Amino acid sequence: MKAFLDYIPGDSPLHRLNPLSKFTISVAVCAACFISTSPLVLCALIVLDLLLAALGHIFTFALKLLRGLAGLSVFLFILQVLFIRTGRPLFTLFSGFPVTTDGIMNAARLVLRLTGSMLPLAVMLSLTKLNDLSGVLTWYLHIPYKYAFMLTTAIRFIPVFTAEMESIMEAQTARGIEFDTKNIFKKIKLIMPLCIPLLITSVGKSDTTAVSAELRGFERRNRHSMSVIYPLRAPDSIAFVFSAGLIAAAAVL
Amino acid sequence: MQVIQFSSADFSYGTFPVLSDISFSVEKGEFISIIGENGAGKSTLLKLFNGLNRPTAGTVSICGLDTRSAKTSELAAHVGFLFQNPDRQICCNTIREELNFGIHTDPERTERILQTFGFTPDASPFSLSRGQRQQIALASVIARNTDILVLDEPTTGLDYRECMSMMSYIRKLNREEGKTIVMVSHDMEIVQDFSGRILVLTGGKLAADGPARTILTDRQLLEKASLLPPQIADTALRLGSGFADIFTVQEMTDRVGHILSAVAVQTQDVHI
């Protein structure tokens, strides 16, 4: 079964793009999200994220991710609205929390930025093999292999640890711990002791990975050790121009 | 009394079918093993026992509770589940706390179990060997005193002594306390020595369900499930039809002894 952020194989135009181009596009969309202050532009960037996902044939995955982010977004929106006091008051909630124009605008901006900047990274990671990503970071951006490997390993471990946490929760539910409760606060309280088995497994896994890498000559690897060449082609040039245009448009609009 | 009842149960991960048309029932106090090749669906089947997986069609009933609607934490009052990897289960700083963690634990029973296993109650479970951690995981399952124990490859990673000590304790629970045991194992010797009944799973379907002796001497069936008979049964099958009924070391010893004494008598009768 595919886990979150696992590479989704395919032959779409985005799959064929150089990993550096995909990385540049996703960074450009993120940057545009933080440069722009207009909620309309931020909405357009989210639509662009979905279009990119459709171009990569992972539209369903992007929609699922968007649905997942919606819960977090609602929570953050409510928090922002409740605690921002500046601006023109519109009405009062829970007899003591005035909802203001600034509160709504800032909350909307925060939520749209969060969604708009998370989606392109997830889409890029789902369309790029992590080895290829570390390869181009080392080759084109001259990032030392050690750091590129560290970045991609950290990303690679996200689905691994997610699966591990799910297994730990299964094991504890089987012991009668009420993880199947609908009460979110009770669930959070129950999760705390599980940090111990997760931490122990994580440290063990990291240690095994480090030893295994050392045994395979990790210290001697550098940009000249790459076995794959990632040439830049015409579509990559278009991607770079598109990324630059996107940042410029976000600054202007 | 039936404690487990599967009726035409199917299970799929999304659109990917894993188990289909599984039907069997288990009486209280039975010791059954589920065997089959890797990927046959054994661990998935085990998770249907406590609601970690819910049947996508058909029904699974555990001690009268329908797993389609009962919460896993409710089913946990009847089913104790030992996972392959003890590190997913252990989460407390001392062995005593670990045994008392969870629902329905009786401190007196915990103390008895601590003594039986010879644990140092205040030791940290994380500093122990893999075999000892597996024993702690088993002890914490037993501490909850459930009617059914579901064991997913309980002897993985254990040496012979640890393996025998753990299995003997499980047999004691089965015989003396009447616990129903459902075990998945790849070790045919363990399956032969401890199970009364065996279910064979191939490609997500139940290929056979019967007494251990019948199943483990059916070479064709075992080959279909990519398995080999236990060594003694395999030897007996290779020796031919005269040994076809041999299943245990004791039976083989008796038969060989009988043949040797017959040969000795015949030799005495020969006069040169």
pLDDT in tens, B167-212: 999 999 999 999 999 999 999 999 999 999 999 999 999 999 999 9
What are A's interface residues with B at a Cβ cutoff of 8 A? 1, 164, 167-168, 170-181, 193-194, 196-197, 200-201, 204
pLDDT in tens, B37-49: 999 999 999 999 9
Q: What residues of chain B lie within 8 A of the CB of A198, using their CB? A: none
Q: Band the pLDDT of A199: cuts 50, 70, 90.
A: confident
Same domain assignment for residues B157 and B235: no
Interface touch B73/A168, C-beta < 8 Å: no
pLDDT at A173 over 90: no
Query: Burial level of B236, CB count in 10 A (0-12/13-18/19+)?
Result: buried
* A170-174, B157-161, B172-176: range with highest mean pLDDT: B172-176
Q: Band the pLDDT of B109: cuts 50, 70, 90.
A: confident
Distance from CA of A63 to the nearest CA of B (A): 17
pLDDT score recorded for residue B167: 92
DSSP A41-81: HHHHHHHHHHHHHHHTT-HHHHHHHHHHHHHHHHHHHHHHH
Whether B147 and B179 have beta carbons less than 8 Å apart is answered as yes
Same domain assignment for residues B58 and B122: yes
Size of interface A-B (CB pairs under 8 A): 75
Query: Whole-number mean pLDDT of chain A?
Result: 87
pLDDT score recorded for residue B264: 84
Q: Measured between CB atoms, does B140 come within 8 Å of chain A? A: yes
CATH number of the domain that B84 lies in? 3.40.50.300
Same domain assignment for residues B30 and B19: yes
pLDDT score recorded for residue A1: 52
Same domain assignment for residues B173 and B251: no
Q: Band the pLDDT of B146: cuts 50, 70, 90.
A: very high
For chain A, the domains span 1-131+229-253, 143-222
pLDDT in tens, A140-166: 888 888 888 888 888 888 888 888 888
Closest CB from B88, B103, B126 relative to A168: B88
Interface touch A175/B103, C-beta < 8 Å: yes
Distance in angstroms (rounded) separating the CA atoms of residues B264 and B272: 15
pLDDT score recorded for residue B213: 92
- For tokens 């997610």, what's the residue? A162
Whether B91 and A196 have beta carbons less than 8 Å apart is answered as yes
Same domain assignment for residues B105 and B159: yes
pLDDT score recorded for residue A242: 94
Same domain assignment for residues B13 and B30: yes
Same domain assignment for residues B239 and B191: no
pLDDT score recorded for residue A48: 94
Q: What is the ipTM of this complex?
A: 0.75
Distance in angstroms (rounded) separating the CA atoms of residues B134 and B147: 20
pLDDT at A206 over 90: no
Distance from CA of A175 to the nearest CA of B (A): 6
Same domain assignment for residues B136 and B8: yes
Closest CB from B73, B83, B93 relative to A171: B83
Distance from CA of B104 to the nearest CA of A (A): 8
pLDDT score recorded for residue B187: 92
pLDDT in tens, B243-254: 888 888 898 999
pLDDT score recorded for residue A15: 92
Interface touch A171/B47, C-beta < 8 Å: no
Chain A CA closest to residue B79: A174
pLDDT score recorded for residue B78: 92
Same domain assignment for residues B219 and B237: no
Same domain assignment for residues B213 and B83: yes
- For tokens 């088993």, what's the residue? B138
Same domain assignment for residues B65 and B162: yes
Give the best residue of A164, A169, A175, A207 to mutate against chain B (max B CB count within 10 A).
A175
Q: Band the pLDDT of B271: cuts 50, 70, 90.
A: low
Helices (H), A140-230: 145-174, 184-191, 195-215
pLDDT at A223 over 80: no
pLDDT at B58 over 70: yes
* Number of folded domains that form chain B: 2
pLDDT score recorded for residue B272: 60
pLDDT score recorded for residue A57: 92
Q: What percentage of chain B exceeds 70 in pLDDT?
A: 97
Q: What residues of chain B lie within 8 A of the CB of A201, using their CB? A: 87-88
pLDDT score recorded for residue A176: 82
Q: What percentage of chain A exceeds 70 in pLDDT?
A: 98
Higher-pLDDT residue of B270 and B158 is: B158
Task: Give the torsion sign (CA, A35, A39, A40, A46).
Answer: positive
Q: Smallest Cα–Cα separation from B147: which of B116, B182, B123?
A: B182
Give the best residue of B15, B91, B101 to mutate against chain A (max A CB count within 10 A).
B91
Distance in angstroms (rounded) separating the CA atoms of residues B247 and B234: 9
Closest CB from B14, B73, B87 relative to A180: B73
Provide the domain limits for residue B216: 2-227
Interface touch B72/A201, C-beta < 8 Å: no
